[in-house]
Structure 1
Amino acid sequence: MSNNKVSTSIEGKADLSHAVDKIRVFAPATVANMICGFDILGFAVDHPGDEVKMYKVPTPGVRIRSIEGDDGRLPLDADKNTVSACVKMLLRDLGILDHIGIEIELIKHMPIGSGLGSSSASTVAGLFAINALLGFPLTKDELMPYCVEGERLACGHGHADNVAPALMGGVTLIRGQEDLDVIKLPVPPKLYAGIVFPQVDVPTREARQLIKDKVLLKDAVVQWGNIAGLIAGLFQHDYELIGRSMHDVLIEPTRAILIPEFYEMKRIALENGALSFGISGSGPSVVAITKGEEIARIVTEKIKAHLSARDIESYQYVSNVNVEGPKVLPFND
């Protein structure tokens, strides 16, 4: 990211006098799109998420010590892994890449390819960790473009709908993609997510390729109204408005084809009190938005039972909206 506005703006900000020798950071999973806001809306959850342990060492360079929980799917090469590659970019732009040694342990607590922002949680954890290790020289706004670059490395498309809520916490709106403009939105206190991850494979790139390049104006108008209604509902803490606004007429009809039992899961969720139901990110995870934790638990258990009866294994997560984003954890070793 050298020679751009971001690298210029952070020059001279590294001050190792406030640095620590090691840090442990958790970054949350996210529900991108928030059903009706393709590529512009998303929110963070309390769990699952990913964890990074980062150590300052005498030998200059950035290295990965180990990766846990990935079943050997992620590269240990520091130039190919999104966590270490983004840390290197940041250190290069700070002008200290050749003067500091960093070693990284990545612990994956969430499934890869789940539609829950697995790559973004890892990248955000790594960038938040290096910033903390250096004594927090950068703001979250200054970290954001590096997080987006991590998404570009991971899936070929540098979008912020996962990394923005993972880094900022809460619900985020991406008003502008080119000249990145991220806005935090209010979070009603009883807003919960019941997430189900069916054990089926829906690669992000393939899911994006199914999306049409052009849409009908009448469908676009419906979608604009839903997005505006959702944002109004968040500001007003109007759960009913949130529920009737979170409907997707553009992306869901295509992506739902890739997710077995999608419409039956949606029926179960809505009949059991969910405000709305849809696909998390590119899937295959699905999410029921509810008012309160109890309904979220009931919905996820009923969907789990439905999938089990059809020999489809699944993971379930129930969480309120994580308004904090990444956080420093105590070391447990």
Structure 2
Amino acid sequence: MKSINVFAPATVANVACGFDIFGFAVDNPGDKITLTLREEPGVTITDIIGDDGRLPREAHRNTAGIAIQSYLQHIGRTDVGVDAVLYKQMPLGSGLGSSAASAVAGVFAINELLDRPLTTRQLIPFAMEGERIACGSAHADNVGPSLLGGFVVVRSYQPLDVIRIDTTANLFCTLVHPDIEVNTKDARFILKNEVSLKNTITQMGNVAGLIAGLMTPDYDLISRSLVDVIIEPVRAILIPEFNEAKQAALESGALGCSISGSGPSMFALSRDAETASRVGAAMQQAFLGVGITSEAYISEINRQGPRVI
């Protein structure tokens, strides 16, 4: 029997100004999966560790399971049988791309087991099917960076056009997950369907500035561009002490701070590990001021994507 263990990184989607089009991967946390080939065809989720029994074990309802099934159908290998054990190593509903990491780990692992008939980039659509199961929308701003590593822009869905931004910027990410939960569907439901021309122009300028800042690299430009005038003001109401935690991050030296994905996690970018750690402590203290405990993760940007472990 042939078996493989794969780690896939958590991700920060939106990255302030880039709603549904920006994302980047982090070194920590992430999800792991163990796949084992068997003779009987089909995909079976044999166990999920770390989810407290909350995730479906049926392959067609599980983000990793459906990603693997979609992949096998695409390459014409429905004769393949595989058992999967999923290790959830981040909070569910956290805004850290938990569902994406599972889908990416699964599809990357099966592609490796079958001697890589597809490139890593070609795996994106199958991982997106996992996102469709998780939140009703097959978006790529989490699975893209989780698969490709680094910073990623989703330019288009029709056709799918995912671009990895080459950057030499030395950035450290602080992730703080307050012990509350924000449902992704609820976070989308409260968004406005129309945006003013003024805010659209401001947001477009910040998107362009962030890309230019990453490619230069220009840290002051990155800092000025990490501003969201459309989504953050609406979603911030779902996160108690959001403004206080953000202000604490900026006062501690962060280049910028905003909501990670749909929340409740928040991210901050800094130029060194020491600052990133100080930022995390300050943000946690802000939440603790109203009795909310939290988890903090400090890491560099993950430039590799998933890896065999």
TM range (shorter): over 0.9
| SS state at 2:138 partner | coil
Contact 1:169 1:325 in 2 (8 A): yes
* Residue matched to 1:152: 132
The one-letter amino acid paired with 1:256 is A
Instruction: Answer yes or no: is 1:68 the counterpart of 2:49.
Output: yes
* Residue matched to 2:303: 323
Contact 1:144 1:167 in 2 (8 A): yes
For residue 186 of structure 1, report the CA deviation from its aligned partner: 2.2
1:96 equivalent among 65, 73, 77: 77
Contact 2:5 2:308 in 1 (8 A): yes
Contact 2:121 2:147 in 1 (8 A): no
Instruction: Render the CA deviation track for 1:90-122: whole Å, top value 9, x for unaligned.
Output: 11222221x221000000011110000000000
Q: Distance in 1 between matches of 2:83 and 2:6?
A: 14
| SS state at 2:47 partner | strand
TM-score by length of 2: 0.98
Q: Distance in 2 between matches of 1:310 and 1:188?
A: 39
* Residue matched to 2:252: 272
Q: Rg bigger for which structure?
A: 1
* Residue matched to 2:149: 169
| Structure 1, unpaired ranges of 5+ | 1-19
1:87 equivalent among 63, 68, 87: 68
The one-letter amino acid paired with 1:285 is S
For residue 141 of structure 1, report the CA deviation from its aligned partner: 2.3
Q: Distance in 2 between matches of 1:217 and 1:266?
A: 26
The one-letter amino acid paired with 1:298 is R
| SS state at 2:145 partner | helix
Contact 1:44 1:322 in 2 (8 A): yes
- TM alignment of 1:168-317, pairs within 5 A: 168-317=148-297
Q: Distance in 2 between matches of 1:187 and 1:66?
A: 38
Q: Distance in 2 between matches of 1:110 and 1:176?
A: 29
Q: Distance in 2 between matches of 1:306 and 1:176?
A: 38
For residue 189 of structure 1, report the CA deviation from its aligned partner: 4.0
Instruction: Render the CA deviation track for 1:51-110: whole Å, top value 9, x for unaligned.
Output: 00000112222111100000101111122112112211211222221x221000000011
The one-letter amino acid paired with 1:83 is A
Q: Distance in 2 between matches of 1:242 and 1:305?
A: 26
* Runs of 4 or more consecutive aligned structure 1 residues displaced over 3 Å after TM superposition: none
Contact 2:129 2:138 in 1 (8 A): yes
| SS state at 2:173 partner | strand
| SS state at 2:279 partner | helix
The one-letter amino acid paired with 2:239 is I
For residue 303 of structure 1, report the CA deviation from its aligned partner: 1.5
What's the Cα RMSD here? 1.0
Instruction: Answer yes or no: is 1:41 the counterpart of 2:3.
Output: no
- TM alignment of 1:103-142, pairs within 5 A: 103-142=83-122
Contact 1:114 1:283 in 2 (8 A): yes
* Residue matched to 1:57: 38
TM-score by length of 1: 0.91
The one-letter amino acid paired with 2:196 is L
Identity of aligned residues (%): 50
| SS state at 1:319 partner | strand
Contact 1:187 1:321 in 2 (8 A): no
- Stretch deviating more after TM superposition (32-41 or 180-189): 180-189
Q: Distance in 2 between matches of 1:72 and 1:315?
A: 21
| SS state at 1:311 partner | coil
The one-letter amino acid paired with 1:56 is L
Instruction: Render the CA deviation track for 1:224-271: whole Å, top value 9, x for unaligned.
Output: 000000000011011111001110000000000000000001111111
For residue 158 of structure 1, report the CA deviation from its aligned partner: 1.0
